[in-house]
Structure 1
Amino acid sequence: MPTPNQTPRRVVVTGLGATTPVGGTAPETWEAILAGRSGVRTLTQDWVAEHELPVTFAGQLHTSTDQVLTKVEIRRNDPSGQYALVAAREAWADAGSPEVEPERLGVAIGSGIGGVWTLLDQWENLRTRGPRRVFPLTVPMLMPNGPAAAVSLDLTARAGAHCPVSACASGAEGMGLALNMIRNGRADVMVCGGTEAAIHALPIAAFASMTALSNRNDDPAAASRPYDIDRDGFVMGEGAGIMVLESEEHALARGARIYAEIAGVGMSSDAYHITAGEPEGAGAARAMEEAVRDAGLTMRDVVHINAHATSTPVGDLAETKAIRRAFGDHADDIAVTATKSMTGHLLGAAGALEAVLTVLALHERTVPATINLDNKDPQIDLDVVTGGPRRLASGDLAAVNNSFGFGGVNVALAFRSHG
């Protein structure tokens, strides 16, 4: 553990993995995001019509897990666990499968909802076929920490297998936890992020009932439209985003390729409303300020924000106010993007995926554009990137990724370029 006078260890990103509505891997996802392709489409499953769902589209996974996992792995893991395994294995391989003692390797993978498919499928088994037909692995498959446990077992990670559950901030909180575990000496390497597989009739019906979802059934690809004057709700998505983090000294010692430094994390809670964020963005602003301060940066160092920006009328405006509150006039100089316009909202995996995209934006010095922004809300006084990717300047750059969740949870991650 670092002493009070000891500088915390720097932590770097050496591996990236993702399975998303727009790509089966992190590179495929990044390429689709830069091209401005939407992964939102009409749902064709029988249960959509069976339950007469008012919303009939979502950002479904681009690549089925049966192309990557074995039949046994699929049988023994809820889809949320499957997604985590796919993305974690990709990230681990991308990092070069580092040699590390199991006791120095940890996992922190969040999920906002957990194994909803397992829970409801096995309830149906119980109801229609009796208790003897309930699958023996139901409990480890439905528990939210099931994906973290599965990845821990897969990689023999013994420094900890943690699962933050903080709604749509879960994945980002997992990355913040991983950052601090390495800083505090609990681990040298962490596999972290978020996963979610909640495109199911019940969550869709529940979100629609609270009028949180867009109802553009006739034009799914244009439904997620952050900052647009005609935005009418978020679009559900699914998938996982995973990073491999290492202490800088560990990464340099083995000659690892370093994408960026994860430099700071900020967390706060609104204590305002169970679902609505504080409308003036005070808590969200505090999270951003804390992340930048924790990173040893100034607010003027930040050149890019991957915003939470879910495409809800109230939420997008509150985050805009938060960015203005945190950055002041410097907000005019920050390139903002809203990648949920293409992927939809991955709930507990959203912040993790968007952190992966933030790292790639720094590494490639390119900010993706927001799509479906046809008529910008005049109250959104931010420099939102549209019309195509934007190149960033050379030199040392810093970026922030925002994630906010039901319960008033706010998480901001600060990244900086490396080398």
Structure 2
Amino acid sequence: MHRVVVTGTGVISALGNNTPSFWQSLISGVSGIQEMVNVDISQIRFKNAAQVRNYVPEDNFAARDIDVMDRFAQFAVLAAREAVAAAGIEWTPDLRETAAVVTGSCLGGRGTEEAGYWELFHNGKSRVHPYTIPLGMSNAGTSHISMQFGIEGPAYNLSTACASSAHAIGHAFWLVRSGVAPLAIAGGSEAPFFLGGLKAWEAMRVISKDTCRPFSAERSGLILGEGAAMLVLESLEAALARGACPLAEVVGFGMSADAGHITQPVAKGPARAMRLALRDANLTHEQIGYINAHGTATEANDRIETTAIRDAFGAHADKLAVSSTKSMHGHALGAAGALEAVASILSLKHGILPPTANFLTPDPACDLDIIPNQARAATVEACLSNSFAFGGLNATLAFKSLP
């Protein structure tokens, strides 16, 4: 069994199109939530979202590549490029043959599919784009990352709604820890801003009409986000042997299913995922100083997650710092867990805990230390990152700081 470390991260999000800008926005408490652009908001009851701004595909990809890459797949490759460059990976034939790519995306390229079907059903076209299937498939990000670096080892995508990229990182961690793969690129990507998808979210009545206020008494729902985040995972011995400087150690992964309701969460499943992550990491309650919460700002989720944290940690829950970075980068669905994993890793690395932005009034049902509005300097030994999905699928990652 190998110790597994993170040696590089890559991000594109509403908070910035690389890791440094993402991190600076997080610790500044800057929200990336604005009125939507490039969408006809006259047909939608909510107007705000956390979109990637100032992104021009032609600045990053050749025209022939753009033709076969949906926006979500472009995001995946851009984040992977940054992560690999930051890790300083030198690709040898053996490494290319054995490295892994594990991604998470719950929607894939549905925006491209919708555009094609609109032409078919409304504009009288008799055919769709010849690459509609490869553009739309959820594993397209995985495949394009694999092709970008010539990676021939295990490569797959997980689609477990809002837990997709947390599950992906956990699986990649297990691959590297067990020795199945010496290195893995893992994370998630999502691009959910197309009319049909937005109308579907509107119908669920869980979207806020103003902003995202996790754990606040005034919370009124989630705010959708988009983007991607990728991590480079490798064994500690390999990283040190090549002179890399690990950012943090991945020490545990827990997952569970509520086996209850398709949309309504319960506390038992999330609490079990946290306990399993602690067991997998061989960590005590007292070693955890921070939790990056799932924290969607819906009435049910925040209350249930508070109960789950108290169930999992008992009296130590009162000593935990907890925040939801969705208050700034929005809920990026299948990419959310990866964005939050990067936030957690950088919190350990820099000794700064990002805040829960947009917070107004404490909710007695969410009686945790939720780091309201301003980042907090804190030396934390280990932390958890929670991702809880529709369908009752839960994933918790455990990270530990390194000297």
TM-score by length of 1: 0.93
Distance of 1:243 and 1:14 partners within structure 2 = 8
Partner of residue 29, structure 2: 36
1:404-415 maps to which residues of 2 (within 5 A)? 404-415=388-399
**Secondary structure, in 3 states, of the residue corresponding to 2:246?**
coil
1:1-400 maps to which residues of 2 (within 5 A)? 8-45=1-38, 47-49=40-42, 52-66=43-57, 67-100=59-92, 101-127=95-121, 128-132=123-127, 134-216=128-210, 223-278=211-266, 281-393=267-379, 397-400=381-384
**Unaligned 5+ runs, structure 1:** 1-7, 217-222
The question of whether the paired residues in 1 share the 8 Å contact of 2:359 and 2:373 is answered with no
The question of whether the paired residues in 2 share the 8 Å contact of 1:289 and 1:299 is answered with no
The question of whether the paired residues in 2 share the 8 Å contact of 1:159 and 1:186 is answered with no
| Residue type at the aligned position of 1:357 | A
The question of whether the paired residues in 2 share the 8 Å contact of 1:172 and 1:411 is answered with yes
Once the two structures are superposed, what CA deviation does each residue of 1:233-284 show, in whole Å capped at 9, x if it has no partner?
1000000011000011111111111000011100000011111211xx1110
How far apart are 1:122 and its partner, in Å? Answer: 1.4
Q: What is the alpha-carbon root mean square deviation over aligned residues? A: 1.3
| Residue type at the aligned position of 1:125 | E
**Secondary structure, in 3 states, of the residue corresponding to 1:163?**
strand
Partner of residue 219, structure 1: none
| Residue type at the aligned position of 1:227 | F
**Secondary structure, in 3 states, of the residue corresponding to 1:379?**
helix
How far apart are 1:129 and its partner, in Å? Answer: 4.9
How far apart are 1:69 and its partner, in Å? Answer: 2.7
Distance of 1:34 and 1:54 partners within structure 2 = 31
How far apart are 1:385 and its partner, in Å? Answer: 0.7
**Secondary structure, in 3 states, of the residue corresponding to 1:263?**
strand
The question of whether the paired residues in 1 share the 8 Å contact of 2:352 and 2:379 is answered with no
Runs (4+) of structure 1 exceeding 4 A deviation are none
How far apart are 1:352 and its partner, in Å? Answer: 0.5
Distance of 1:72 and 1:287 partners within structure 2 = 43
Give the stretch that moved more between structures: 366-375 or 353-362.
366-375
| Residue type at the aligned position of 2:14 | P
Give the aligned length. 399
The question of whether the paired residues in 2 share the 8 Å contact of 1:55 and 1:204 is answered with no
**Unaligned 5+ runs, structure 2:** none
| Residue type at the aligned position of 1:294 | D
How far apart are 1:230 and its partner, in Å? Answer: 1.1
Distance of 1:268 and 1:335 partners within structure 2 = 23
How far apart are 1:62 and its partner, in Å? Answer: 2.7
How far apart are 1:70 and its partner, in Å? Answer: 2.8
Distance of 2:232 and 2:297 partners within structure 1 = 30
